[in-house]
Chains A and B, each alone.
Chain A
Amino acid sequence: MAEKVEPAIKEATTQDSALEKPTPAAVTQVMSRPSPKLNTSPTHGLWALTNRDLKKWYTNPYQLIISLVQPVIWMGLFGKALNFTSFITSGAPPGVNTNAILQSFFGTTSYFSYLVCGMLIFIVLFSSTFAGMSVVWDRRFGFMNKALTTPVSRGTVVMGKILQSVGRSIIQAVAVLLIGIVLGMETSNFTVLGIAGTFVVIFLVAMGLSGLFVMLSLRSTNWQTQMAIINLLNLPLLFASNALFPVKIMPSWLQDVVKVNPVSYAIDAIRQLLIGATGSYALWVDFSVVVGFAAFFSIVGIVMSWRLLSK
């Protein structure tokens, strides 16, 4: 420990003489602003804050790789072991139209492709829950307070947190999609518009979910509480959705829960856009729900930030 301090002090002492008496020219140069051309727009600092968080991530690829382990396990082990397509096709007596059965349950004949679409939102869900954790760390280590003593808008601070989480979600979703294709996802129905639409949905869901979790973390300096909230919310949001299983086989009370879970609508939209599955709802219904969800939580997040960050 001591040897780490040493160079700093040497540095300090060797330059003492040079700094003892700064020239008057240097004085005016250092401490008077050349021209007060400050950026006072309400969104200034947004990119700086977003990039600060993203940088932690893209300079440390291990985090990205580790975050992909879970969906890979789900797709590779769960998706391949509990493959409903072979379950139904290999078990059905001859003469039964297995494709019609698969269609009626999954809206497509490939369960694996069905699952990959669910996994795209799964990764967004798990990634977004951690948007709140980064707020908790920033609060505990004082960065949040430092940012709040600058003229940066409170809404910008929250928006930066949401956007960095959205950025991560999108990159992770791209990786999951690529892995899914490698593992045997059906790509025959891919269209440019479909893929673009899929990522619009991912963007919106990531926005809504990050907004939700950032909002829940704004007053917290305790990461244990935050972990508890994450665990409380993310598994129910996953299992009470159509991510893994068709809604049709669920008990009716669970179907009602699935109907109010915005995650279901996002996955439903992605399945229609990406693999041409028959959806449970019309595409415009899915989109309206997802847009509403994203708008609600990002606006509420920003409004709450004004109240909660200034107490």
Chain B
Amino acid sequence: MKMITSQPTIEKEGEPIVKVEGLTKTFDGKVMAVDGISFEVKQGEIFGFLGPNGAGKSTTINMLTTLLPPTSGKAEVCGFDVHKHPNEVRRNVGVVPQDYTADEDMTGYENILLCGDLYGLPRSDSKPHANELLQLVELQDAAKRKVSTFSGGMRRRLELACGLINYPKLLFLDEPTLGLDVQTRAAVWKYIRQLKQDYNMTLFMTTHYLEEADGLCDRIAIIDHGHIIKIGTPDELKASVGGDVIVLGVKEAEPDISSDISKIDLVKGVTKTGNDYRIKADAGEEASPQIIDLIRSKGMHVMKISLTKPTLDEAYLELTGRTLREEETNRWAMMSQRRTMRTARS
């Protein structure tokens, strides 16, 4: 009974609510899923973990939500060590898993109450709270229906409500909009913003949608192959790409004039793939005419040109060397993700 004292230990704005130091997880002694990552999540922010499947996002979230014990390193959530005081962590955080976990044979309302029971909330507390949460995710009219009759979007919102039943200070969301249609995705984003603004909740989410990370997160950690490559605000990450990207298609594949192009002042880097030159430049609008002149002076012909201002996509490609579409992961994770997407679209 002495463990009741799950009183908030951190209340000050800006104080870290998640502290991770050198967190590592190896499976079967050899597969490095997460390799010594360190980061902090501040109170009241939306923190995003961005990376392809198999990058270590879910493994990290599983360690922070006490599902997996870390191989080494330290993680503190809401002031409690995840390994030493897992139950304190569990009482203070809410989890919205990637899977659709609600029981199809029960109603939406019953599902939320079941979650409340698992947290040890007395029914006198969880019943009114469940109703409030159903209102928050706009499911009050469907609450008494069996979940098997719910659409994918309604189920996702129900998962969100279930994750909030224990009045969490920190909410973990694993791929909250995976496979959802545009409108439901917008609704989920609205709830997430609402939780942050109106309830001062901290949100930790993983995603592999760049526009989601860009539009929703206050800070993003880009993770790949178990390493955190960069942490920063979306703007900082975009700036780190270092300028605009010009892609030039030239009729003649040979000769390679990359070195000539890179001599232009504004140009910062050139890579050539086939007939295309991918050029990074500080002021793309000014650099491109100069480059075209150069190519013409060599007696070559410009077939196409595009100029891109930095986006998070560019930053991501720059930092990880690959696009989010090139994915590799294990079979079970893939099947589970496909199931989630199927359910989302039903």
Contacts and interface: CB of A to CB of B under 8 A. Distances in A.
A38 B121 contact: yes
B293 interface: no
A15 B129 CA distance: 19
Nearest to B182: A9
A19 B136 contact: yes
B100 A30 contact: no
A142 B97 contact: yes
A141 B99 contact: yes
A52 to B, nearest CB: 6
Contact of B90 (A34, A47, A151): A151
B136 A151 contact: no
Given A4-B346, A11-B141, A31 B199 contact: yes
B132 A142 contact: no
A27 interface: yes
A285 B93 CA distance: 51
Interface stretch (B147-155, B208-216, B220-228): B147-155
B106 to A, nearest CB: 7
Contact of B120 (A31, A151, A221): A151
A147 interface: yes
Interface string A135-155: 000001111011111111000
Nearest to A153: B87
Nearest to A29: B132
Interface in B134-184: 135-136, 138-139, 141-142, 150-154, 157, 162, 164, 166-167, 181, 183-184
B6 A36 contact: yes
A148 B67 contact: yes
A44 interface: yes
A251 interface: no
Interface string A242-265: 000000000000000000000000
A38 B91 contact: yes
Nearest to B125: A34
24 contacts: A4-B151, A5-B151, A5-B153, A15-B138, A19-B136, A19-B194, A26-B132, A29-B132, A30-B129, A36-B6, A36-B7, A38-B119, A39-B121, A40-B120, A45-B120, A55-B105, A140-B336, A141-B339, A142-B98, A142-B101, A145-B97, A145-B99, A150-B90, A310-B67
Given A9-B184, A31-B167, A48-B117, 17 more contacts: A12-B187, A15-B138, A26-B132, A30-B133, A31-B164, A38-B120, A39-B120, A40-B120, A56-B105, A141-B339, A142-B98, A142-B336, A149-B65, A149-B95, A151-B90, A152-B118, A310-B67
